[in-house]
Chains A and B, each alone.
Chain A
Amino acid sequence: MNELVLEVKFVSMKKWLLIGVALGFLGLFIVIPLLAVFSEALKKGIQLYFAAFNDADALSAIKLTLVTAAISVPINTVFGIVAAWAIAKFDFRGKNILITLIDIPFAVSPVIAGLVFVLLFGSQGLFGSFLAAHDLKIVFAVPGIVLATIFVTFPFVVRELIPMMQEQGTEEEQAAMTLGANGWQMFFRVTLPNIKWGLLYGVILCIARAMGEFGAVSVVSGHIRGLTNTIPLHVEILYNEYNFQAAFAMASLLTMLALVTLGLKSLVEWKTKKYVNGG
């Protein structure tokens, strides 16, 4: 009898030990850095926190970040939907190769992503002389930043949509066709509503990454204050100038976006679970 009690106690001890270690690891690596961002941002009081955003350079950084996201995210979203449609709803040879190719930006260092565009459009690049002749600037200017961001955030929407669309199969679309719907009607009335949560999550992830991209943009931007600095680059500048509070204040913006992204992921998972169980 005593043995049984001891055994149960041992099992539950083991369980709590494991939970403790796991949570400790998470706490150390994730919670503490999170706290650090906000604590440093608010270190000198809340007034100074908001003052950080009044700065002209800060504002232009925010503006550039938003513009970059506003261009690259819709482009990659359209691509994501189209590519997911081709891959998830049809069978064809070379599908796996295509999927692997789409995954390339994940395997490539962001610095290399920036490098390729410098090699293409930089002054010594492939199109360098052409651009100079027409007084067009891509590298060290906004277009370069947008291109690098598109490269880096390329797979996000596709990868979210493919498993979702594959799981849903093609029967509803076939049914729509037998009922007389044309291709667009079928897509907008049947396919799109079924993927809306996954699409939303993919887009939010894409936005978060587009706004937070550092390495690729760093290479391509030229770090021209007030012109070609995004929020992460601006954070770097402030940090290197030892202006920690302002740096973290800017950082807190993107951190909050990251937290929203996480919240949305939980929401999407909850919603899709509802569909799976019900339908």
Chain B
Amino acid sequence: MLKKLSRHRALPGFGLSMGYTVVYLSLIILIPLAVLFLKASTLSFTEFWRTVTDERVVASYKLTLWTSFFAAFINLVFGTLIAWVLVRYDFWGKRLADAIVDLPFALPTAIAGIALTTIYAPNGWIGKYFAAMGIKIAYTPLGIMIALTFIGLPFVVRSVQPVLQDLDSRYEEAAATLGANSMQIFFKIIFPAIFPAMMTGFALAFARALGEYGSVVFISGNMPMKTEIIPLLIITKLEQFNYGGAAAIAAVMLLFSFILLFLINVWQWKTAKKQQMI
């Protein structure tokens, strides 16, 4: 009885803009990615399994995973510290410090790569001191970790900063009037509030580190089984025209990244819901 006209919206242009968005998204992102999974599936299951469980491949998975994890963890700790210092304290040069936090985001990865290698090579600015002590940084997993720390630095800081800024000081004041000391206030009031943001930042830094190529490929030395990261292996397969193998390794990596991305979103959605209920 009531004729339902097509959903009218106050502002114009919805149909057009949505259409364009979906088409462009499909063309540039979705179809190419689908092709990758398609190619990976052209491998027989045994071939696929053999490729992704090859010794060298497994070594690179392990290396990529643990260096990324530790780099993200370092960023978790120091990133939170940096966010804290930027929000809570005033000091000369604060605005400058705040601005340069984003450098790893804006600087091309290859440049970061060569700069870091130059610094940490055995004859480098910092590397030479460690070389004197017999510690190698460049061309070892340690070097890889340093590069990944650089890359992930802004993520935790920029995740935690806004939350800290928006934190109502009234909660802390209330706690203080009730007799809590500053340690207790930190752990019982501030920390729980920034924990979700810390985790988001960590996950983003981790995800970023997993796929990182440009900054790592110079400092790692690319020794198979020792300092070879997954992206490099993919390139190696490509250069051998082993498209299927490259696709297989990439598919596994993509799946992992997507699951990570999905988990991040679910976590964010859940914590947002929980906080709304408060």
Decide if A and B touch, CB cutoff 8 A.
Answer: yes
- Please report A residues at the B interface, Cβ cutoff 8 Å: 15, 18-19, 21-23, 25-26, 29-34, 36-37, 40, 79, 82-83, 85-87, 89-90, 92, 96, 98, 100-112, 115-120, 122, 124-126, 150-151, 154, 170, 173-174, 177, 182-183, 186-187, 205, 208-209, 211-215, 218-219, 231-233, 235-236, 239, 244, 247-248, 251, 254-255, 257-259, 261-263, 265-266
Q: Establish whether residues A19 and B258, one from each chain, have CB atoms under 8 Å apart when the complex forms.
A: no
Q: Establish whether residues A265 and B99, one from each chain, have CB atoms under 8 Å apart when the complex forms.
A: yes
Given contacts A18-B89, A32-B125, A89-B11, 11 further A-B contacts (CB under 8 A): A23-B93, A23-B97, A79-B20, A86-B18, A100-B262, A106-B208, A109-B257, A212-B108, A215-B213, A215-B231, A265-B102
Interface size counted on chain B using CB atoms at 8 A: 86
Q: Given A30-B100, A119-B243, does the pair A177, B81 have CB atoms closer than 8 Å? A: no
Q: Establish whether residues B119 and A32, one from each chain, have CB atoms under 8 Å apart when the complex forms.
A: yes
A211 vs B111: C-alpha distance when bound (angstroms): 12
A208 vs B106: C-alpha distance when bound (angstroms): 6
Q: Establish whether residues A118 and B82, one from each chain, have CB atoms under 8 Å apart when the complex forms.
A: no
A243 vs B217: C-alpha distance when bound (angstroms): 18
- A107 CB, min distance to chain B CBs, angstroms: 5
A100 vs B118: C-alpha distance when bound (angstroms): 37
A235 vs B30: C-alpha distance when bound (angstroms): 31
Q: Given A25-B81, A107-B258, does the pair A37, B115 have CB atoms closer than 8 Å? A: yes
A215 vs B10: C-alpha distance when bound (angstroms): 44
Residues of B within 8 A of A186 (CB): 11-12
Binds A, one of B44-52, B168-176, B234-242: B234-242
- A51 CB, min distance to chain B CBs, angstroms: 19
In-complex Cβ contact of B253 among A109, A218, A248 (8 A): A109
Q: Establish whether residues A232 and B110, one from each chain, have CB atoms under 8 Å apart when the complex forms.
A: yes
A22 vs B131: C-alpha distance when bound (angstroms): 26
In-complex Cβ contact of B115 among A21, A36, A257 (8 A): A36
Q: Establish whether residues A26 and B101, one from each chain, have CB atoms under 8 Å apart when the complex forms.
A: yes
Q: Interface 1/0s, chain B 211-225, versus A by CB < 8 A?
A: 111100010000000
Q: Establish whether residues A107 and B10, one from each chain, have CB atoms under 8 Å apart when the complex forms.
A: no
Residues of B within 8 A of A102 (CB): 25, 29
Q: Establish whether residues B253 and A115, one from each chain, have CB atoms under 8 Å apart when the complex forms.
A: no
A92 vs B21: C-alpha distance when bound (angstroms): 14
- B231 CB, min distance to chain A CBs, angstroms: 4
Residues of A within 8 A of B114 (CB): 235-236, 239, 247-248, 251
The interface centre, meaning the residue of B104, B111, B210 with most chain A CB atoms within 10 A of its CB, is B111
Q: Establish whether residues B247 and A119, one from each chain, have CB atoms under 8 Å apart when the complex forms.
A: yes
> Is B72 in the interface zone, CB < 8 Å from A?
no
> Is B179 in the interface zone, CB < 8 Å from A?
no
Q: Given A30-B153, A79-B21, A262-B100, does the pair A214, B32 have CB atoms closer than 8 Å? A: no
In-complex Cβ contact of B261 among A25, A83, A100 (8 A): A100
Q: Establish whether residues A104 and B247, one from each chain, have CB atoms under 8 Å apart when the complex forms.
A: no
Residues of B within 8 A of A247 (CB): 114
